[in-house]
Amino acid sequence: MSKKQKTSKPNSLSPKAFAQEKPSPASTSIAFEAQPIAKWFAIVILLVVVFAAFSGGFKNQFVDWDDHVYIENNYLVTQPKGHWAEAFKSHVALNYHPLTIWSLMVNASLSGVESAKAFIVTNYLIHSVNVLLVFWLVLLLSGRQLLPSFFAALLFAIHPMRVESVTWVSERKDVLYGLFFIASSIAYLYYIDKGYQKKYLIWSFILFFLSCLSKAQAVVLPVVLLLLDYWRNRKFDLKSVLEKAPFFICSLLFGLIATNIQSGGDFHGTIHIIGEQRTALNLQVFSLFQRLQYAGYGFLMYFYHLFLPLNLSAFYPYESTGPNVKFYSIGLVIMLITLVATVLLYKRSKLVFFSIGFFAVTVALVLQFISVGAAIMADRYTYIPYIGLFFLLGMGLQTIAEKNASLKQAVWIMGFAFVGFCFFQTKSQVAIWQNTGTLFGQIIRVYPNDYRAYHTLGKYLGEKEGRLDESIQNNLKAIELGYKDDSGPWENLGTAYGMKGDTPTALKYFDEAIRRGAKTGEAYMNRGIAYFTLQQPQKALPDFEKSLTLPNKKILQSRTFLAAAYLATGNVQKSLDAYNNLIDKEGINDPLLWFNRALARQQLGDRQGAIRDFKQVLSLQPNNEAAKQNLKNIGG
């Protein structure tokens, strides 16, 4: 190392002192030799607190908010055997994150997909590791200052804005990419502090690559490495740039993949979609100024929710009217002022420049400069960015306490009182993610005019809890608010009225759902059932046939009704063929199927076959009077 690179060991714990380029070997044994008892005590507290905050969510259910896309309807997860390689050639919900899908496949292999518990517990365990990594990272950054490092890690552990990333099964990608992102940053600090040993740089790159395979938001890490150079007073030269070339190339690759996929592409035929095809990127809906406003609003609200994490929502919609609209322009102004002020502090305050810079760099891609999806912001987007702000808070409190000895106790009491507030807010937020009903009920409380929330809540109440009147009320509210996404509310209303026994009203809503372009086999099947119930099998028959040509989660039910419709309309041979497939090929041992096949055989003159089937009905249902009578009539 050259003389110019050497720095003397600091004599104080000010930000300038611990932001050195090359600490002495004694200081780089790195953060874990000082105060060992206090360090391990802090680790135990962190683990206990994060468990206490999140364990209430271990019994939460899957929610109808991407969990059906990632888990329940994703054959890679529900049938992982034989699909491990395919995970690297496919994308889910417009995200290429094969390592995340692998982790979900491992969960499914070990515990199945009937319950969300194992998935949520795994999220929590990864988050717990991340908490310790943040503690480690801040110890490195702060020059082994235990209290601010503990404080920052504690906030990272239990801040309410963490709940979405930890408790929502589909956000496995957050905690997983965070794991490798933080670990890569730590490895890079070792690279600087251990005399630029290549092995640490190689490990940093490997961990970064794994982070990109977990979530595309990781692509900003090379810029974070430049910030770490700045924090360590490392000279910005050609070497420091060239050594990061593999990182930037990797970022470019994954950035291109993400952009292509979210625009509806398949990355030149190499990556296919799992599930429904759609697009997320949209440059046409909003003007450039509007997108800047939305970015400013998100920037402002992330700071607001840092200190006042109240009325959090799983969904923050773009709004054209309402009290939040005025903050769009205000947020843009505040964002610009904050960023300009931060740049001006480049030399005057390393702490502020580094911390705000870390936040800005890691959140930049999700500030909706380019509109992605229907949400203007999301709690999960702060999982890594908030580390910069937590570090700023911890070091800020430490600096105030050092400069004002009389305030030291009060400062930390206030700081940990805020942690306590966050803890109880987190426990409350975890409960909101209990199921689809509680989650979308909260969205409606925060955004009472969001038609999507009423539709999803109405669907859940009807299908999962059988609360048909409430389901009808919520779906009608969605329509009243101008629902326009698909035919969902009309299908839900048809199903609810059908379950209530009001078949004519159910038929009316199924008609409307199909008129509005229903694209599922279930919609046609349900209308067919309504016709069948109203004794109009001739009208039911084409609907059952159509239901088999569309995506259909109830394919066997459709085939069963089709067989019955053939029988009712005099297509006896087709009916018999359909029942043969259901009974002989599918192995379905339903007495109704055997009974109807017996009727079909009887009509076709197959007396012995009919007798065998009626006897099979009685073996399954000994008290089936209709089977007894029919058997008697044909001399069985």
Average the pLDDT over each of 52-66, 185-199, 258-272, 381-395 and give the range with the smallest value. Answer: 258-272
SS3 510: helix
The runs of H, that is alpha helices, within 112-220 are 117-142, 146-158, 163-167, 172-193, 198-214
In the predicted model, is pLDDT for residue 402 greater than 60? yes
Q: Look at residue 367 and tell me whether its pLDDT is greater than 70.
A: yes
DSSP letter for 366, please: G
Residue in the block written with tokens 């076709």: 604
- The per-residue pLDDT for 268 is 85
Which DSSP string do the residues of 181-199 spell out, in sequence order? HHHHHHHHHHHHHTT--HH
Q: Considering the domain boundaries, does residue 519 fall inside one?
A: no
- Find the Cα–Cα–Cα–Cα dihedral 93, 99, 105, 110, rounded to 10°: -150
**Residue 613 burial (CB count, 10 A):** 26
Write the pLDDT tens digit of every residue in 561-602.
999 999 999 999 999 999 999 998 888 889 999 999 999 999
The 10s digit of each residue's pLDDT in 474-531 is 999 999 999 988 999 999 999 999 999 999 999 999 999 999 999 899 999 999 999 9
Kindly state the percentage of the chain with pLDDT values over 90. 80
**How high is the pLDDT of residue 277?**
54
Q: Which of 164, 175, 181, 187 is nearest to 125 (CA)?
A: 175
Determine the pLDDT at residue 225: 97
pLDDT at 604 over 90: yes
Q: Which residues of 462-481 are buried (b: 16+ CB within 10 A; e: fewer)?
A: beeeebbebbbebbbbbbeb
Q: Which residues pair with 281 in a beta bridge?
A: 372
- pLDDT of 266 strictly over 90: no
Percent of the chain with pLDDT over 70: 92
Q: Is residue 602 part of a domain?
A: yes
pLDDT of residue 371: 66
Query: Does residue 173 fall inside a structural domain?
Result: no
Is residue 612 a part of any domain in this protein?
A: yes
The string of pLDDT tens digits covering residues 415-454 is 999 999 999 999 999 999 999 999 999 999 999 999 999 9
- Per residue in 521-568, pLDDT (tens digit) is 999 999 999 999 999 999 999 999 999 999 998 999 999 999 999 999
d(CA 633, CA 426): 69
| Average pLDDT over all residues of the chain | 91
Scanning 263-385, the segments in alpha helix (DSSP H) are: 288-307, 326-344, 350-363
Q: What is the pLDDT of residue 3?
A: 38
CA 553 to chain centre: 23
- Look at residue 627 and tell me whether its pLDDT is greater than 60: yes
CATH of residue 611: 1.25.40.10
The whole-angstrom separation of Cα 486 and Cα 480 is 14
Residue-wise pLDDT tens digits, 144-162: 999 999 999 999 999 999 9
Give the span between the Cα atoms of 433 and 105, in whole angstroms: 22
**Would strands 90-92 and 272-274 be described as parallel, antiparallel, or unpaired?**
parallel
Contact present, 177 and 217 (Cβ < 8 Å): yes
**Choice between 272 and 472, residue whose per-residue pLDDT is larger:** 472
Residue 576 domain-assigned (yes or no)? yes
For residue 606, is it within any domain?
Answer: yes
Nearest to 125 by CA among 61, 87, 172: 172
Residue 235 lies in a domain: no
Residue with tokens 């890691």: 362
**Where does residue 375 fall: left (phi above 0), alpha (psi -120 to 50 degrees), or beta otherwise?**
beta
The band of 196, judged by pLDDT with boundaries at 50, 70 and 90, is very high
Lowest mean pLDDT among 1-5, 197-201, 376-380, 409-413: 1-5
Q: Look at residue 550 and give its three-state secondary structure.
A: coil
Least confident of 41-45, 198-202, 276-280, 577-581: 276-280
Tokens representing 16?
Answer: 């300038």
Query: Is residue 586 assigned to a domain?
Result: yes
Tell me what the mean pLDDT of segment 188-200 comes to: 96
Angle of helix 350-363 relative to helix 386-403, nearest 10 degrees, comes to 160
Q: What are phi and psi of 172, to 5 degrees?
A: -50, -35
- Residue 320 has a pLDDT of 82
Confidence label for 405 from pLDDT (cuts 50, 70 and 90): confident
Q: What is the pLDDT of residues 65-98, one digit of tens each?
A: 999 999 988 999 999 998 899 999 999 988 999 9
- Tell me what pLDDT residue 249 has: 97
- pLDDT score for 264: 82
pLDDT of residue 428: 97
| Comparison of pLDDT for 321 and 58, the residue scoring more | 58
Residue of 511, 459, 447 lying closest to 311 (CA atoms) = 447
pLDDT above 90 (res 119):
yes
pLDDT of residue 397: 95
Greatest CA separation for the chain? 108
Structural domain that includes position 610: 570-636
Q: What's the confidence (pLDDT) of residue 5?
A: 41
What is the per-residue pLDDT across 328-347, written as a single tens digit (0 to 9) for each?
999 999 999 999 999 999 98
d(CA 367, CA 294): 7
User: H or E stretch including 598?
Assistant: helix 591-603
The two three-digit tokens of residue 265, written as one number: 């592409």
Contact 387, 399 (CB under 8 A): no
Residue range 294-320: average pLDDT?
A: 94
| 311 Cβ contact partners less than 8 Å away, ≥ 6 residues apart | 445, 446
> From start to end of 196-262, where are the E strands?
none
Number of domains in the chain: 1
